[in-house]
Structure 1
Amino acid sequence: MILCCGEALIDMIPEPTESGRAGFVPHVGGAVFNTAVGLGRLGAQVGLLSGVSEDQFGVQLVERLAESQVDTTALVRADRPTTMAFVHLKDGHASYTFYDENTAGRMIAPQDVAAVSDRVTALFFGGISLAVEPCADTYADVLAREGANRAVMMDPNIRPGFIRDEAVYRARLSKMFAQADVVKVSDEDLAWLIPDGADLADCAAKLIAQGPALVIVTRGGDGADGYLASGDLVTVAAEKATVVDTVGAGDTFNAGVLAKLDQLGALTKDRVRNLTPEEAEAALAFGAKVAAVTVSRAGANPPWARELA
């Protein structure tokens, strides 16, 4: 099983009302939640570790997980509110304003998290859950305790406006990168992480030097690159799609990468650290394929395996 560790929240997405003014409609979301849902719909064995409220929005989140065949055993339920992300769309591209104080997701603590099941062979971390305490320290603790013998993928999905203490955040990410096998970043994330890099390849090399065996850099409509510790580079083009919005695109890409590595038998600690260029390229290409479906429809709505035939 792949265990996705991180936030589950509500995306408030603008839609026109009868008056002509925009209203906000609640959609289940969160970077790590979306990746878990994407994996479940692609047929992977997957679970979610997250703090989830017992309020009406928490109920929506749990219902979507169940519908998408995601194991909910590791959820930590709490009588706290659900994190809200108000989405602002410009030309189909999304930016976010978060409301996260004292929420079920934010306040998850190390003592809330049980030992990870032996069924879990891979861990995924990412999103805003790595940016704020105490949840960020909780997920870092899970990685330190449980990541040594499991394949580990990370996507920091950096939201600069959400970061409270940049020095602490950078230090936490660096420590987690050193324990990760695969790190996926957008080109914008990579420029933020490595501000002194000469170009994307130089930045990726500096990130690989921190520990990962594969660094994936997504470049929006220009496709994605995979930099392997062996020095090999693979590149895939973006799939053609009519873009409705980009909400959840990167999260779905992550689901596709993980699902393909799992299908290839490459999602174990030993195998993922020794990927061939062909395996890496296949994983990136499948990630691009499933992400193209998500951007073609509103909100984070990853495809089912049957839709890809």
Structure 2
Amino acid sequence: MLTVIGEALVDEVLSDTTPKRSHPGGSPLNVAVGVARLGRPVQFVGRYGTDEYGMLIQEHLRANSVLTPLPQDDLPTSVATAVLDPAGGARYTFDLQWQLPSLAEALPQLLDGTTLLHTGSIAAMLSPGADAVLHAVERARPTATITYDPNCRPSIITDVVYAREQAEKFVALADVVKASDEDLAWLYPQDSPQDAARRWLAMGPAIVAVTSGSKGAWAVTAAGEASASVPPVTVVDTVGAGDSFMSALLVSLMDLELDGGARRPELARIGAADLDAVLNFAVRASAVTVSRAGANPPSRAELS
């Protein structure tokens, strides 16, 4: 079982050429849906309200066979407004609530059977919920592979020193880390993305992967490095592209049976051929997502 902890929200997508679109989103929610579409059981642990947008999220998760062990609450559902540029790139602003008051009590049941726990984005940065997420990661680590994507949002977390320190707390606990080159440029402006990734690798993860949009992706492990190019694709928008990459990365590691705390030494020794296959699978998933509107990750059949 894979468990994803993080924010759920509704993306309101605006552009000069199309009407406003509303899609369920949030980086962790998108990862959970992507994992489910690739055929792996997954539960999503997050918060959203009982309002119209909350019901939209709940139905989206149910339709994609994602388990939802925590109940909806009475707070407004969070909203992200994504303004698209002419090339399909997205610039975000947010109106959100992030807290998980019922997580600590539910944690033993949630982690029972979890072999991989993923988190990141706003959930791992914004108080008060970030403290609960960090505690969950610490509790899960002995028995589960930990994966992390900072997915930085400077419009929400404006203090880069705090963001860097917070990210490094999760990196030190993680087995697999994915970041965009933009994330790393903001967190470590004096370093190249590759040098920043190597800095993170030295903190303990087995794999650090860096996405670079149309330039593809690159990853580093103790044994070496690998890269993958993006297949030719017509871009509709980039919403959810990195999350689809993350979902496919996680699923391919599970396909290799490298998930679970007991397999941490094997994951740390991942070879060049497996790393190359994992990275290419993830890039292909991301390419499918950018070819259509919104955070709409591919199914396993679409990647076969």
- TM-score range for the pair, normalised by the shorter chain length: over 0.9
Hey, what's the Cα distance between the residues in 1 that align with 2:302 and 2:206? 31
Counterpart for residue 12 of structure 2: 12
> Secondary structure of the equivalent of 1:92?
coil
Q: Distance in 2 between matches of 1:147 and 1:56?
A: 36
Q: Percent identity?
A: 37
CA contact (8 A) 1:151 1:272 kept: no
- Of 241, 245, 253, which aligns to 2:237? 245
CA distance in 2, matches of 1:82, 1:164: 22
The Cα shift of 1:142 comes to 0.8
Aligned partners of 1:148 and 1:179 also within 8 Å: no
- Find the aligned partners of 1:267 and 1:254 in 2 and give their Cα distance: 15
Distance 1:23 1:152 in 2: 39
**8 Å contact from structure 2 (residues 247, 282) kept in 1:** yes
Shift of 1:287: 0.6
Runs of 5+ consecutive residues of structure 2 not aligned to the other structure: none
Aligned with residue 92 of structure 1, among 84, 88, 93: 88
Alignment of 1:54-93 (within 5 A): 54-73=50-69, 75-90=70-85, 91-93=87-89
Among 118, 129, 141, which residue is 2:112 paired with? 118
CA distance in structure 2 between the partners assigned to 1:291 and 1:123 by the alignment: 21
Give me the whole-angstrom Cα distance separating, in 2, the residues matched to 1:242 and 1:15: 17
Per-residue Cα deviation, 1:144-197 (whole angstroms, up to 9, x for no partner): 121232111110101111105443332222111110011101111112222232
Separation (CA, whole Å) in 1 of partners of 2:177 and 2:29: 18
Q: How big is the shift at 1:238?
A: 1.0
1:1-309 → structure 2 map (5 Å cutoff): 1-14=1-14, 23-73=19-69, 75-90=70-85, 91-100=87-96, 103=97, 106-109=98-101, 110-111=103-104, 113-115=106-108, 116-197=110-191, 199-230=192-223, 232-269=224-261, 270=264, 271-309=266-304
Quick check: 1:76–1:108 contact (8 Å CA) kept in 2?
no
User: Aligned partners of 2:71 and 2:133: how far apart in 1?
Assistant: 13
**Does the 8 Å contact 2:146/2:174 carry over to 1?**
yes
Residue 100 of structure 2 aligns to a residue in which SS? Answer: coil
Q: Deviations over 1:25-49 (max 9, x none)?
A: 3210110100100110110111111
Of 151-160 and 114-123, deviating more is: 114-123
Deviation at 1:252, TM superposition (A): 0.3
Aligned length: 298
Could you tell me which runs of 5 or more consecutive residues in structure 1 were left unpaired when the two chains were aligned.
none
CA distance in 1, matches of 2:194, 2:82: 31
In 2, Cα distance between equivalents of 1:169 and 1:308: 35
Instruction: After TM superposition, give the deviation of residue 124 of structure 1 in Å.
Output: 0.5
Q: Which amino acid counterpart does residue 40 of structure 1 have in structure 2? A: A
Deviation at 1:201, TM superposition (A): 2.7
**Conserved? CA contact 1:50–1:76, under 8 Å:** no
Is the contact between residue 151 and residue 268 of structure 1 (CA under 8 Å) also seen in structure 2? yes
Q: Deviations over 1:267-307 (max 9, x none)?
A: 23323222112211111111111111110000011112222
Once the two structures are TM-superposed, the CA of residue 15 in structure 1 deviates from its matched residue by: 5.8
Q: Give the deviation of 1:118 after TM superposition.
A: 2.1
Scaled by the length of structure 1, the TM-score of the pair is 0.91
Contact 1:131 1:164 in 2 (8 A): no
TM-score, normalising length from structure 2?
A: 0.93
Structure 1 segments (4+ residues) deviating >4 Å: none
